[in-house]
């Protein structure tokens, strides 16, 4: 149980941030070791994208903990789609960043409508889980 000095909002913010951190860890592990465990390409590629969309929702929910979940999900969808559309924009410095590990994880390299679908699936799943888990602490 959390110390009584933490407000309900602060406790919820901590829970959401911990959930986001766990999703990030699972996503990184999936991308790093998925093939080593024999997982198919579709699971590794799009599973990572689903988790990326989930992470975007959870990080926004951490920051906007008092906002309606539909607003958080909408903002997460806009952010995820914007990042995917950014892949269509090319400059030398941005392409150089995309070739680094952080650049690949944050921005990706190649535009794909299927990534958008996977991001939206992750956001929708996070939204539903968040709605069911936000109960009095």
Cβ burial of 44 (10 Å; 0-12, 13-18, 19+) is middle
Q: pLDDT of 44-71, one tens digit each?
A: 999 999 999 999 999 999 999 999 999 9
Q: pLDDT of 80-113, one tens digit each?
A: 999 999 999 999 999 999 999 888 888 888 899 9
- Please give, one letter per residue, the 3-state secondary structure of 54-81: HHHHHHHHHHCCCCCHHHHHHHHHHHHH
So what's the pLDDT on residue 38?
94
């Amino acid at each position: 149980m959390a110390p009584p000095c933490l407000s309900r909002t602060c406790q919820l913010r901590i829970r959401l941030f911990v959930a986001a951190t766990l999703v990030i860890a699972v996503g990184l592990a999936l991308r790093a070791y998925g093939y080593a465990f024999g997982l198919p390409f579709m699971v590794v590629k799009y599973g990572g994208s689903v988790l990326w969309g989930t992470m975007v929702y959870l990080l926004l929910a951490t920051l906007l903990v008092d906002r309606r979940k539909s607003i958080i999900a909408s903002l997460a969808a806009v952010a995820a789609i914007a990042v995917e559309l950014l892949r269509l924009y090319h400059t030398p410095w941005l392409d150089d960043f995309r070739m680094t590990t952080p650049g690949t994880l944050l921005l990706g390299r190649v535009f794909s409508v299927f990534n958008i679908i996977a991001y939206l699936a992750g956001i929708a799943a996070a939204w539903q889980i968040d709605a069911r888990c936000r109960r009095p602490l």
